[in-house]
Structure 1
Amino acid sequence: MKCGEVRQRGPESGPWNSQWREDVNTASGRLLHERVDLPGHDARAGRRVERAVLLGSHRLRISGRADMVEYQRDAAVDSGWRPFPVEVKRGRHKALEADRVQLCAQALCLEEMHGVAVPEGALFYGTQHRREQVCFDARLRQRTEDAVARMHALLRLQEVPAVARAPRCDGCSLEPLCLPQVTAGQRSARDYLARWMDEEG
């Protein structure tokens, strides 16, 4: 599921209905991904670049698609190639670890698929036009596996996680659908509506 998409349960089109709202951020992100999302490969000196690579891990019970995987020549690997995942992001470096956890999940899948260690990868930020090297150390690997475990727990319970209201919500195209000001925190929707009507009155 790509960023900018919300899936809701509903009877009219199966178990999930997708909702989407395009804005300047999602449009620029889509344009940035148009080339990288096309399956294919490039051969460069000392490396082979594969785009839109399907990934999966039986152990973690996850699957997805990597924007790019660079297979770098490495004599220590039986096949002669070591995978190096690269995730493309529209914006700039973030203090939160979500991007690095996503990339680490790709590395864990690649390790299982190829039977080789994947010690590092990179995040490419379109706004800054630079790569950020990411080391998949023990702490990041554990954080990633914990996130996967939480996801499976939520799926078993069929619960939507509580929204964490943040300043970034104001620039999100899905803010009118997600309504974080209603669902965030401990207050009920009834309390929010009552307070909102008082303020409007």
Structure 2
Amino acid sequence: YLTAQGKALQERVDSGEPETRKGMRFERSVHVSAEKLGISGVLDLVEVETKTGRLKPVEYKRGKPKPDPMDEIQLCAQGLCLEEMTGQTIPEGALWYMQTRHRVPITFSDDLRAQTLATIAAVRELLNSSQTPPPDYGKRCKACSLVEICQPELLGKRDRSVG
């Protein structure tokens, strides 16, 4: 159910045509890449101030804000792609959560940028290792569309206090 709901949200976000309102142009499903970082993706929305050309990525999420910074890191990676592609500094973005119907502004601080670059490096290292990490079983697994492929319960609930 949750996966289907998330897919419906993405289809709604992705299907819209570009539009301009109150000095802001809204571009949807924007393909981006950062060759230097080796990442690419499709942004849900980029807001463009028509007077200044200033860009702001906006990421839509089905749920609510999470305790870990992964949503912020994903958004910052989008900002880094826009920076490499356009040459302009992208100081901030926004996360919009469907469950809470709340928009959260995110500043791309030096700390968030460092976390994002560390995450990109860790993923690159994981991909280069050709090793699949063991599943990290948790309650979020129930809402995952890949649970039947991953089968995290086969390894049982792991003790999270062990590093």
Give the alignment's TM-score, normalised by structure 1: 0.73
Say which one has the larger Rg: 1
CA deviation after TM superposition for structure 1 residue 173, in Å: 3.6
- My pick for the range that moved more, 164-173 or 47-56, is 164-173
CA deviation after TM superposition for structure 1 residue 182, in Å: 2.4
Q: Deviations over 1:135-164 (max 9, x none)?
A: 110111111111111111111111112322
Amino acid at match of 1:160: T
Structure 1 counterpart of 2:91:
119
Structure 2 counterpart of 1:144:
116
Measure the CA separation in 1 of the matches of 2:134 and 2:86: 36
Structure 1 counterpart of 2:48:
71
- C-alpha contact (below 8 Å) 1:39/1:53 kept by paired residues: no
- Structure 2, unaligned stretches of length 5 or more? none
Q: Deviations over 1:54-90 (max 9, x none)?
A: 000011011110000001246xxxxx31110000011
Measure the CA separation in 1 of the matches of 2:84 and 2:74: 16
Pair 1:27 & 2:23 matched: no
- Structure number with the bigger relative contact order (C-alpha 8 A, sep ≥ 6) is 2
Q: How many residues align?
A: 158
Q: How does 1:1-201 map to 2 (within 5 A)?
A: 24-38=1-15, 40-73=17-50, 80-183=52-155, 185=158
What is the RMSD of the two structures over their aligned residues, measured on CA atoms? Answer: 1.7
